[in-house]
Structure formats: structure tokens, C-alpha cells
Amino acid sequence: MKQIFFTPGPAELYFTVEGHIKKALTEQVPSISHRSARFQSIFQEAEENLRNLLSLPNNYYIFFTGSATEIWERIIQNLVAERSYHYVNGSFSNRFYKIAEELGRSPVIQKAEEGSCAVVDPEKIPSDIELVAFTQNETSTGAAQPLDDIYQVRQSHPEAIIAVDAVSTLPYIPLDYTQVDTAYFSVQKGFGLPAGLGVWLVNARCLAKAEQLAQQQSIGSYHSLPSLLEKARKHQTPETPNVLGIYLLAKVVSDMLGKGIDVIRNETKFKAGMMYQTLSEHDNFTPFVKKAEHQSRTVIVTETRKPAQEIIQKLQESGLFLGSGYGHFKDKHVRIANFPTHSREQFIQLIDKMNAIL
Ligand SMILES: *Cc1c(COP(=O)(O)O)cnc(C)c1O
């Protein structure tokens, strides 16, 4: 049976993707040279559409990578000589912290319990910290850091670079890019695209820091910020990139622009509201994140009274594919993606079936 994927990545494809893939094949997009004018125009289209959808300021660059995991490594290599500060409240935020350690830096960890968000206390952040890392939406637990917490750090530590993992929240989250320095995502979550492409949004401050760092130590050879910029100025990438992925991103973001970001945001809130209401009323389910202000609207995680696998199995029989709990929560949680491609009707269908589980 064809499933609707409510898994938080890879996720249900944006509903227009199938048509765009067919058109790309007809136009032989996967065979074109990444040094051709045709590719440059695809790159430019993706860039301009994203800039519009996200209201990205002019002092930001858009770079393409292999994944968000790659961007974690690039951020440390290009932007941190010694010390970064990491808010950690789950598997993804912890992985970023570990990468900083593995690359020989001395990262500082500020931990919060899984299912909650860190209390942001600027006084605890060392005054000479180079970079502060937030995971705005911790996909493993469904906890979302309020944006004002992030902006507070900009006020208290204006010299620090602020990095925001927005992988499972964009394009929903209305991030004020003037209050941070870099944000990033991979396309198989909220954008509903096949995996294999990361998008790195970087402001001019980050470029300056990378250039300065390169004077004193290696910032790596692959996808260093200066090398990405040199090519991006020509609407190109250093390597042979995921051309099809960039093409599909341009098209899907264009479709999202046609729909309107406000409509997408309002629908997201509406569907999340319905789901949290259902969870709070249903004996089988309890939202894992208790504080309403920390409950993610794009990745909804629920504890289950029955074994999670049983519930997932039951819903699969109706063609509804939910995510299992992450890591050690595998048997205890169910994760539900609420991405732009999921319609209200699909959510109502899901809620009906969840309510039917006794
Ligand atoms: C999925 C995810 C990542 C990693 O993305 P990849 O595309 O697998 O590299 C990083 N951070 C968060 C919050 C995620 O949800």
C-alpha cells in the first residue's frame, strides 16, 4: 500500500516533486555540466527563490553541501579556532558538540534534559566564546528553542558567531537572520526533497572569520567558506554537485512561494494545534515535551502507553507511516512530522486513525 510518510526525514516528498523529477529527466538535467550556463541558471534560480522565501538579507550567501552533517564539520573548521558553546538537548545537538571535540577544539556543553530546552543564561557563556550553537528544533525529542532565547545571546555576546541548526524547522520558522550569523538545513525534511543536499546560509561576518582563521591554521580543503564563495559568485560549486537536487529545490521553493510563506506557516500551526489537542485528550498518547512553549510544531513527539511499534504498525496498515522514537526512545515514542507537504486533510485522516486505536 502506498504510504503517507509522517516520518521526520526522509519525509513525504513535497507533492509537486514527482512532476518536477519527470520534467528534469525530460530536460536531461542530471547530464548537464556543472560548469555550463544551464547549471549556473539553475543555481541562481534556487538561490533567488530561497532568498525570497526566507527573506534572507543581502549580506547572506547561500552555499550547497552534501548534508547538514557536513555543515556541522565545516562550521567548526571555518569558524572556531578554540571554543564553541553548544546547547545540547538531544541526539542531533549532541552530535554537533562531539564533532567539535573530534576536530580537536575545546567546546563547552550546556545540557538540558531531553524533552526540554536549555534555559539560556548569557552570564554562563564565556565572554570570549567564538561561536554559540543552537539546535532550534531537536528532531530526536521534538523540543524547539524559542527564537527570543537565541536573539538574547546576540545582545549579550555581540562578538560571538551564532549558528542555528534549522534542519527540521525550515521553512516554517520565521528566523530573523540579522540576529544570527549562520543557519543551515538539509532538504529531506521540511522541504520534502530527496536526501543528499545541504543548504548553508552564511553572512559576511562568517566569511571574514574564516579568512582570518585561514591565516593561522587550516580551515580544511573541501568546502571551505572562501572556496564556496569563490564559486558561488559564478553560480557554481567547487565539486560536481547534486545538480538534480539543486534543480528540484529551485522548483519546490518556487511552488512554496506561489502558495505563500504565511499560508504555509498558518497551516503548520493549525495542524500542530490539532495534533497536540488530540494527544492531550487521548489515553494512549502524552506529548513528550511538557512545556507548551517548547513544543515543536514541525516534529511532534509523543510518548505512547502501548508499545510504540504496535501503534506504528497499526497506522501503517492504514497507509500512514509514522516515525519511531529516536535512539533509546525507540520503543517509547512516536514522532510525527508536520511539514509543508502534509495537508490538513492528511492530518485529519491521521488523527481519525489515532483516535480509533483503543
Ligand atoms: C536530520 C538532522 C540533521 C542531519 O541531517 P543530514 O541531512 O542527515 O546530515 C542535523 N540536525 C537536525 C536537527 C536534523 O534533524
Domains and CATH numbers, the chain: 4-12+260-357 (3.90.1150.10), 17-258 (3.40.640.10)
Is residue 318 in contact with ligand 1, taking CB distance under 6 Å?
no
The whole-number pLDDT of residue 357 equals: 87
Ligand 1 atom with the smallest distance to the CA of 198 is 7
Tell how far the Cα of 167 is from the centroid of ligand 1, in angstroms. 6
Is residue 167 in contact with ligand 1, taking CB distance under 6 Å?
yes
Is residue 337 in contact with ligand 1, taking CB distance under 6 Å?
no
Tell how far the Cα of 239 is from the centroid of ligand 1, in angstroms. 22
The whole-number pLDDT of residue 358 equals: 74
The whole-number pLDDT of residue 106 equals: 98
* Preceding omega of 10 cis (within 30 degrees of 0): yes
Tell how far the Cα of 185 is from the centroid of ligand 1, in angstroms. 7
- Residue 95: closest CA among 79, 83, 107: 107
Residue 79 and residue 99 in contact, taking contact as beta carbons nearer than 8 Å:
no
pLDDT in tens, the chain (358 residues): 899 999 999 999 999 999 999 999 999 999 999 999 999 999 999 999 999 999 999 999 999 999 999 999 999 999 999 999 999 999 999 999 999 999 999 999 999 999 999 999 999 999 999 999 999 999 999 999 999 999 999 999 999 999 999 999 999 999 999 999 999 999 999 999 999 999 999 999 999 999 999 999 999 999 999 999 999 999 999 999 999 999 999 999 999 999 999 999 999 999 999 999 999 999 899 999 999 999 999 999 999 999 999 999 999 999 999 999 999 999 999 999 999 999 999 999 999 999 998 7
Residue 331 and residue 325 in contact, taking contact as beta carbons nearer than 8 Å:
yes
Tell how far the Cα of 287 is from the centroid of ligand 1, in angstroms. 22
Question: Which pTM value belongs to this model?
Answer: 0.97
The whole-number pLDDT of residue 7 equals: 98
Is residue 130 in contact with ligand 1, taking CB distance under 6 Å?
no
Would you state the cell numbers that stand for residue 5, as one nine-digit string?
Answer: 510518510
